Amino acid sequence: MITWLQNATGKHHRLIFGFLLVVIVVSFVFYGFAGRGALTGGPAYMYQGVNLNDPAVRKRFNDALFFGQMTGQRMDPNGLVQRVAELALADGLAIPAPSAVEIRRIAREMTTAADSKNNDGLNQFLELAAKQLDASDLDVRARFETYIKDTWRIQKALGALAGSGHATASQIKRILDRERTKWTVDVATFSAAGFKPDVKVDEAKVKEAFNTNIEDYRLPARVAVTAVTIASTVADTAPVSDDEIINMGYNQAEKFKFETGKVKEQALAKRAELEKLVRAERAITNLAGQISDELAEKFPVDTAKADSKELAAWIKAKDAKITTVAAFDVTAAPSVAQVPVEALRVAGELTEKEWRTEVYRSEAGATFILLNQRTPDRLPTFDEAKTKAVEAWKKSQFNRLLAEEANKLAKGIKDDVAAGKTFTDSAKARKLVLTSPEAFSVYAVPEALNAANENTGLLIEAAGVGKVTSPIRTANGDYVFIRPAKADLPKDGTTAEESRLFAQRISQRNAYFTGIGLVQDIVPPPAEAK
């Protein structure tokens, strides 16, 4: 295996924005941009050199949301523009990417619980991510690496702007009190699964909705490509450091059956075997750099063509392996044996002018992709999209009727409580499911109560003890009605060290928001989409 994290090699790397930032609190939408147009495809909408409507960009941003959730972080699902601005700032400040060793350290820290006896939860994390994304191990590792790199760069950029931050004693006490306060609540759940409205399809209305939201049905561009893999390498003889041996040891821990917590020592004990792997990896890296240089010199994209006889002869002379990849949607790169997944993802961006990718390392050698044909994205006819349009319309009608029913139930419960009836009796009368979760803080709301588009903790505080919240749509699609029964602030048992760490955390949060404000001043907002 080349590395646990695949990356492009060569002089002229294509920068593909990741738009990722791990934050302490939920990010707000930069410049009030709601992100809808940027997340639905359509004509080019350029901002800071990035097409916000590019499916590849959307996929990269969705990766950020996914890995953020997987690592227990929160990101604004509509914050694409903010991410672009933050990464543009990192570029402007020339913030470099972290080293391979640093990436590995960050990955391990992000995926291993502080109280875990397992010192390396990374493999389990990647295995789960691969299942969730329905992607290969190498693909997931590459995407996670990008997440880490961009996160690190953005954090460094914001830190350079905002400094360490500052928190007042009153602010710390107020937030600490909120965090320590335990809420005891009663919950009545209106199950979406049990709601069976009679939704009759009205084709005229379906067509009207389709025409109104036709951009949602835009068919992505398609590309047919050829993968060129060159395998001839020159043996590497440069010295190999202990750090390289240890890093390879972590990469190959499963193969060598290294024990958790003893990888470093056991890797150094297997130095001879691991050194061969390091040198093999270096050889391919050197080859990829060499091929990248030759392509740039002999076949620059602005003057050469993918179908030129000169390029074909050069490829033949290199005894390259040719893999023809049938046309695929640019939003769904296929998995092709011995072709780097990331290269195929980038291939979706190829055009007649930008007809080849950079050179990528793989276990088979150095690989680049040539464009054979690109079919542009287009709007479908109603007949082409009818099945999806009908399902979308039925879903919208279901959600509308579900919300109407939830509002009726909420009014009934609130009227009952105002009239002296208990919350429990009112909920039972309406055949709602009653639960009483263990007491929690507004910063740690039980997963089942997390709202899809609101902050449940704030809604509980706004309602207050003895009152009933408005209906809250949870992340799983149900509606809940919450009656706070008690709000207990225990005696302060916080140690001096805990207080210090808490103050540090609040200061970091303040610094983050200061940095965001400065980003708004430094990076202009995008023009309106046309």
Residue 108 has pLDDT above 90, yes or no: no
Q: What is the mean pLDDT of residues 232-250?
A: 83
Phi and psi, residue 51, nearest 5°: -80, 105
Average pLDDT over residues 257-274: 87
Of 3-12, 141-150, 189-198, 299-308, where does mean pLDDT reach its minimum? 3-12
Span 477-487, pLDDT tens digits: 999 999 999 99
pLDDT at residue 123 is higher than 70: yes
pLDDT given at position 424: 95
Instruction: Write down the domain spans for the chain.
Output: 8-167+504-522, 182-216+384-488, 220-375
The better pLDDT of the pair 2, 45 is held by 45
Whether 436 shows a pLDDT value over 80: the answer reads yes
Confidence class for position 213, pLDDT limits 50, 70, 90: very high
Cβ atoms of 324 and 370 closer than 8 Å:
no
Q: How far apart are CA 277 and CA 468, in angstroms?
A: 63
pLDDT at 89: 80
Integer CA distances (angstroms), 62 to 81, 268, 328, in order: 13, 39, 20
Q: What is the mean pLDDT of residues 523-529?
A: 67
3-state DSSP call for residue 201? coil
Mean pLDDT for the stretch of residues 197-223: 93
Least confident of 140-144, 235-239, 242-246, 401-405: 235-239
Lowest-pLDDT range of 81-85, 270-274, 416-420 = 81-85
Whether pLDDT at 131 is above 70: yes
Question: DSSP letter string over 365-425?
Answer: EEEEEEEEEEEPPBPPPHHHHHHHHHHHHHHHHHHHHHHHHHHHHHHHHHHHHHTT--HHH
Per-residue model confidence (pLDDT) at position 112: 74
One-letter-per-residue 3-state SS of 128-190 = HHHHHHCCCHHHHHHHHHHHHHHHHHHHHHHHHHHCCCCCCHHHHHHHHHHHHCEEEEEEEEE
- Counting residues of the chain whose pLDDT is more than 70, the rounded percentage is 85
CA atoms within a 13 Å half-sphere pointing along the CA-CB vector of 95: 22
- Whether 530 has a pLDDT exceeding 50, the answer reads no
Phi-psi bin for 85: left (phi > 0), alpha (psi -120 to 50), beta? alpha
What pLDDT was estimated at residue 118?
52
Q: Is the pLDDT of residue 234 over 80?
A: no
Residue 133 or residue 389, greater confidence: 389
Give, rounded to a whole angstrom, the gap between the first and last alpha carbons of the chain: 46
What is the pLDDT confidence band of residue 1, given thresholds at 50, 70 and 90? very low
Asked if the model's pLDDT at residue 19 lies above 50, the reply is no
pLDDT given for residue 443 in this prediction = 85
Which of 20-29, 299-308, 509-518 has the highest mean predicted lDDT (pLDDT)? 299-308
pLDDT per position as a tens digit, 23-59: 222 232 222 222 333 334 456 778 778 888 787 777 8
Summarize the confidence of residues 394-409 as an average pLDDT.
95
Q: Residue 34: its pLDDT value, please?
A: 28
In what helix (H) or strand (E) does residue 205 lie, and over which residues does it extend? helix 203-212
Q: Which helix (H) or strand (E) holds 192?
A: none
Name, of 11-15, 182-186, 521-525, the range with top average pLDDT.
Answer: 182-186
Structure confidence at residue 375 as a pLDDT band (50, 70, 90): very high
pLDDT digits over 79-106, tens only? 788 788 888 888 888 889 888 888 888 8
- Least confident among 3-12, 219-228, 271-280: 3-12
Least confident among 66-80, 193-207, 270-284, 397-411: 66-80
Does residue 47 sit in helix, strand or coil?
A: strand
Distance of CA 422 to the CA centre of its chain: 44
